[in-house]
Structure 1
């Protein structure tokens, strides 16, 4: 008797210029229940992402034609906010920081275990897919900050802010708990949802980049008609405790 086809857990694109690693990853991820498409360079990956519209990209940082960071920037510039898990050749803090800056969602250091790659992919998918808990809150507002869950858009004082899927979920968690100090552990558990003890430093890095985007000065008119608009800071650090979204004392 023919069995009905099994619906894949998610559609992935794997990008790595080393054939052995690429094929090993693709085969292992298919065995884990994913639909997998693969590419050996950045140009092919850009075309493939456009063609198959994946749920997530597993992306080697070192590629022959462009690095993974440049590829991610190009995806974001084209309006493609697919989650990205970087594969890095070494445990280099600068690589990790760059990956977070350009909109990556996680990273795995080579050599890696296949179980770790699968676990991290599933963790990213859980935190970036819609329809999770609190889905009834379609639009969140705090002060002049607005988060549209359905449209996956964030605006501050009418200015649209471009966020990666993980930055979006982090901001959403802060907005749902506005005025409440959240510890790194709480944020890590809710936003990253690791199945093991994750690196709490990733929270500090993401808070820093999110703060730069949300609380950033922008060009705008002042009394003389030119200058910058400096918004009231909303994301604050409670030293030794955690982070909180709130208006500073005395702000309207």
Structure 2
């Protein structure tokens, strides 16, 4: 698999359609995780941390709207596209109310789906690349690796900066421990986990001027930046 592939979770209970969409996306440098029901999709989402979700609405075990709602409780920014045979205005409105970013009616063309996927990814990447990120009363400059308090900058190390960046992307939601260890340390073994705990302590000290900010250890799952 190429390094620049985009992880995409596809939940579709029609096996033939799901396979066609999967193969079409894989031919365009997506790494596709295909699921046939909402419960399976939830498990795979937790495991692989995809970058975008394409969810059928009418699925067995757990429908797409319910799945999207649960995912939104953990991740407020991941792009979600709903696929559905329903097209009435109330259905579209319900989709957006449950956390969807886009809504595509079946049958659809693969080209239209791909255009919509890239449009959502481009939008989220622009937001992620913003230089000045507010964290409580602080300003975090990811590019310059600085945490600014009342116009006074504190220099961060590269790893402190990257860790804070990922915490800020998932603020008020859990940053998965295994995901961030593999992302920044390359492995989730015991020694790297202890090293990450040290970096979390350093960040807490640097954020202590604002009492509204907390980095909470959610035992067994990861960390949560609350602000």
Tell me, yes or no, if structure 1 residue 25 matches structure 2 residue 17: no
- 1:88 corresponding residue in structure 2: 84
Tell me, yes or no, if structure 1 residue 138 matches structure 2 residue 141: no
Q: Is the 8 A contact 2:77 2:124 kept in 1?
A: no
| 1:52-67 matches, cutoff 5 A | 52-67=48-63
Aligned length: 148
Q: Is the 8 A contact 1:87 1:108 kept in 2?
A: yes
Deviation at 1:6, TM superposition (A): 3.0
CA distance, structure 2, for counterparts of residue 148 and residue 112 of structure 1: 42
- 2:180 corresponding residue in structure 1: none
- 2:30 corresponding residue in structure 1: 34
Seen in structure 2, the aligned counterparts of structure 1 residues 105 and 146 have a Cα distance that, compared at 3 Å, is: farther
CA distance, structure 1, for counterparts of residue 35 and residue 121 of structure 2: 21
Q: Is the 8 A contact 2:51 2:78 kept in 1?
A: yes
Length-normalised TM-score, structure 1: 0.52
CA distance, structure 1, for counterparts of residue 87 and residue 116 of structure 2: 16
Length-normalised TM-score, structure 2: 0.58
| 1:97-176 matches, cutoff 5 A | 97-129=93-125, 135-139=130-134, 150=165, 151-152=168-169
Gaps of 5+ in 2: 142-164, 174-227
Q: Is the 8 A contact 1:57 1:85 kept in 2?
A: yes
Gaps of 5+ in 1: 155-159, 163-252
CA distance, structure 1, for counterparts of residue 57 and residue 27 of structure 2: 24
Q: Secondary structure at the match of 2:132?
A: coil
Q: Is the 8 A contact 1:8 1:35 kept in 2?
A: no
Deviation at 1:77, TM superposition (A): 2.7
- 1:181 corresponding residue in structure 2: none
CA distance, structure 2, for counterparts of residue 146 and residue 107 of structure 1: 36
Seen in structure 2, the aligned counterparts of structure 1 residues 58 and 153 have a Cα distance that, compared at 3 Å, is: closer
Between Structure 1 and Structure 2, the one with more helix by share is 2
